[in-house]
Structure 1
Amino acid sequence: MKYCLECGTALVMKESDGEGQVPYCNACEMFRFPIFSTAISTAVLNRDLTKILLIQQYNRPDYILLAGYVNKGEDAETTLIREVKEEVGMDIVAYEYMRSLYFAPSNTLMLNFIGVADSEDLSQMSAEVDHAEWFTLQEAASAIKKNSLAETFLLAIIEKLNAGQVQVNPVAVGGSV
């Protein structure tokens, strides 16, 4: 970040107690910490935890995990529930937070989850999704876009599933977390 997001003044580096050198706006007399987007990514599983839903979007041939940006005022768990409902028409009945990774191409912090869907019904997909398909764990590992953040998340999830270490939390009645 080179310019103040409030007034447009060029930022200078200034020592901030405990933070080191941080961009500073002399006009606003404010430190300007880095800004980035936040999104969720989820491996949607069936209730038996034996299949993973992968999607294709934007006329691309690669299979990826379902993902979406966190809206202002929204927590990551609510985003997870909303995005799955919007994109594939399914309700999430349980979830587990996995980990986060930064995705430099879009300046986004990705928060990865396992989400358990209420069904395997793909009849309610939105126009955002070109195609969705259920895969076994091994099929999903082969089908996912190679050398992608989605593959990194998926392989960690499969490893955890195979080790019996998944502990999904039920979603409260009414869909809230």
Structure 2
Amino acid sequence: MSDLFVPAGIVRPAPAFRRHIVVAEGQLLCRGASFLHADLPLADKDLSASHFLGELEGETCGVHLISRQWDIAGYEWRGLRSLLGEVDEHLFSLAGRAMQVVNWDCDHRFCGRCGSATEYHERDRARVCSRCQLAVYPRISPCVIMLVTRGEECLLARHAHHRHGLHTALAGFIEPGETAEQALVREVREEVGLEVGACRYMGSQSWPFPGQLMLGYLAEWAGGDLAPDLEEIAEAHWYHFSDLPAIPPAQTLSGQLIRTFASENNNRQ
């Protein structure tokens, strides 16, 4: 996340917020593309919960959960994904952080082990079972996202369950007991039937749909013919770096991997 935002990992103490984010029914209260508000457009009595997120350029930020989407003059409710590409990357990360904190709070009001009510931890961002003391922190799911390359070509796929027509890098969840590199090899083999060799780690990105941490790689093709599984991957093709189809925006790690590959090849010309 940008140095403009300094995150906080605690629930309490929560200072008086200077910037406010409001969430209801999985959406953000916005003015156009702006989800950060200098003043809270609701009364305190309407709030179900509030959480301190950190500081943005020295100003404290908090997210507020309300029970339903009220009609508020001059505002509209928007899904997080609709802001992708409309706001700066550091602001999108902040919105994603707010949504993940709210989701954690809503999903763990009761203990998954014994069913008793949970309460906030005194210091940590966690909910603790009042009966068996199970502590539940916000869940982060690690994933790998990899651009398979073959000389001046890269492999791009269109995912079967995505509504858009973008072609993107392959991705998948890391299974228990796997390293990121093992998951990369397995996912490429399962999704498109290829083997990969040398892998180069490029960076990571929080991906709040709903709570992934994406680990990005460039992976060199080592053998095999393309055989998309057709369940997750509708189609996959090799593309020359100078002739790419519609790809994800630069705010996404997939878009960054593809652009890095194209830029490195272009610089060799």
TM-score range, shorter chain: 0.7 to 0.9
Tell me the C-alpha RMSD between the 2 structures.
2.5
Counterpart mapping for 1:3-152 below 5 A: 3=109, 4-16=111-123, 20-46=124-150, 48=151, 50-58=152-160, 60=163, 61-119=165-223, 121-122=225-226, 124-128=227-231, 129-140=233-244, 143-146=246-249, 149=252, 150-152=254-256
Q: CA deviation at 1:26?
A: 2.0
User: How far off its partner does 1:81 sit?
Assistant: 0.3
Query: Is the 8 Å Cα contact of residues 143 and 174 (structure 2) preserved in structure 1?
Result: yes
Deviation at 1:148, TM superposition (A): 6.1
Q: What percentage of residue pairs aligned between the two structures are identical?
A: 27
Q: CA deviation at 1:52?
A: 1.0
Is the CA contact 2:146–2:219 (under 8 Å) kept in the aligned structure 1?
Answer: yes
CA, structure 1 residues 156+27, in 2 after alignment: closer, same or farther (shift >3 Å)?
A: farther
Letter in 1 for 2:228: M
1:119-141 deviation per Cα after TM superposition (whole angstroms, max 9, x unaligned) = 4732x33223221111222433x
Bigger CA radius of gyration:
2
Greater relative CO, 1 or 2 (CA 8 Å, sep 6+): 1
Number of residues of Structure 1 aligned to a counterpart in Structure 2: 157
- Amino acid in structure 2 at the alignment position of 1:34: P
For normalisation by structure 1, the TM-score amounts to 0.75
Superposition deviation, residue 163 in structure 1: 6.6
1:17-52 CA distance string (max 9 Å, x none): xxx443222212232222132211101001x3x211
- Return the TM-score normalized by structure 2: 0.51
SS at match of 2:139: coil
Residue ranges of structure 2 left out of the alignment (5+ in a row): 1-103
Shift in Å, 1:72: 1.8
User: Equivalents in 1 of 2:167, 2:255: separation in Å?
Assistant: 10
Displacement of 1:79: 0.7
Are the aligned partners of 2:196 and 2:223 in contact in 1 as well (CA < 8 Å)? no
Q: CA deviation at 1:62?
A: 1.7
Cα drift, residue 156 of structure 1 = 4.2
Report the Cα distance in structure 2 between the residues aligned to 1:12 and 1:70, rounded to whole angstroms: 30
SS of equivalent residue, structure 1 residue 139 = coil
